[in-house]
Structure 1
Amino acid sequence: MISEIRRRSYLDAMQIVSWLPRTELPFAAPSRLELLLPETEPEPSRPEMEAVEVAKPVQAEAPVAAPVVRAEVPRPRIAMPEPKKPEPAPVVEESTPAKARPVAPPPRFALQLLRAGSVLLLVELPTGEPFQSRDPAYILLKDLLRAARLPDKPQQVGDGEPIRWPLLSGGNLEQGAEAARDYVQGVLAAELEEMGCDCIWLIGLPALQYAGEVEEDACYRELAIDGIGHALAIPGLEYLMEQPTAKAELWKALRRSMSRWNIGL
């Protein structure tokens, strides 16, 4: 058995204010009647409550445990991959429409095909029309033939119509410089196949360009044209009439090539 004081201390420690044993305890203090009364009875007046002082032992405060400080273990830093920067979209250059190359106009010329003995003549027509007997250019041509010891009355080839270019005034037919060259050389090749010659005189710039495939600086020289044969490059008749010194240069070229059509010389 425990004493009353010790029992009270236990009850206070357990925060039990009222406690009634089931049996009479030995050495226990007599029970207080107010604890045995029903709860419906009126409470005692305030003077009575003040007169009654219930001495409660001061509850000893439990020692506060010191907080446990846990040493933080440094966690290994995991290197996170840097986010990839979005690649800039390729700059698509706006396609600009290609500028159309300027189309060169078709060449324009008129050539007369003649024959004098064993020489074939391809002559530029200064006026674009066939020669007349009193044309200054035709008279000069006859003088050149006499100087080269050839017949001075050249004969027209075929129907006598000049070779004119362009062939058509419109349409989709290719009529550029290359087509003109193929056409002129084709006419010469057809005439040579029917009747050969010892040499061809190419007189005037269009004859040099579209039959001999040379320019004006090739004048006074002999040319070897594939599929056609030997040719002599001669300036235009109008140029010879305007430049007297050009006649002297042409005379030298004729003397060098004369043996081609005059085999007996």
Structure 2
Amino acid sequence: MTPEVIRRHYLEAMGITAWACRYQLPNARPTEACEWDDTPAASTPPRERLQALLDDAPAPRTPPTDVQPAKGDVPASPSAVRALLEEQRSTAPSQPAKPSPTPAAEPQPTRAQPLEFHLSCVCIGGRWLSLHAGKLSAAEQRLLANMLQAAGLSDGAMPDVTLFKWPPMAMTFAADDPLEEAREGVSAFVNGVASRQGWQLEELLWWGADTTGSDHEALSQVLDVHDDQSRSLALPVWQAPALSTLTHSISAKRALWPKLHALGQRWHTPLSGRADDR
């Protein structure tokens, strides 16, 4: 039942008449909705009805009684518990800790050192390619022009030198085979220049086969010359001392002249009628 109904029952039991409004006054709070008991008033005296309501009320709860500890039980102190744990730990057999196995270091594969060199090339008549390790100085360029003129290969003008550097830019990663990559790079450079300039290359003039140096040694490996044939560029090779050697050695120039003269004769001879003078 709602509190309003209970309140009315108590008022009736005490003999107090409860009044309820039938109309709502202006600005008055609405009457709470409840279950109105329309049953006629009982003939039981108010005192007896009040006693009956009191008898029906639930009995109050009894608070739980605290359980008293037994007289023989003594609470253990923290120090006693700690001492007991240490005693059990000391009596337990101690086992030596096994060292964790250290993984064996895997051997790192050794990579070959990258090749670095400079290459100067001069094309003669769109047919022969003159290769030189490193950069040509002005004196070496003049010597080359004079020798080509003496052999009848040019008119003595200063040659147009094309410089190539390997690697063309800083390598972002190490190559697995630096030598093979350098050979492919030089081949791509020569083929690209020949295609742009319209050259029809027939032979290589390699100056510096007998010279030691970083550029000369690297370029000798890249050209891969065997039996007067470059495997990298797939062209026949004519070899002579480096221009730096010829610049400072008169005897080297005299020794080269017969070979240079024969080279001039082959220049004017068709490919089908040439004799091998390399």
Q: TM-score range by the shorter chain?
A: 0.3 to 0.5
Higher helix proportion (structure 1 or 2): 2
TM-score with structure 2 setting the length? 0.46
TM-score with structure 1 setting the length? 0.48
Larger radius of gyration: 1
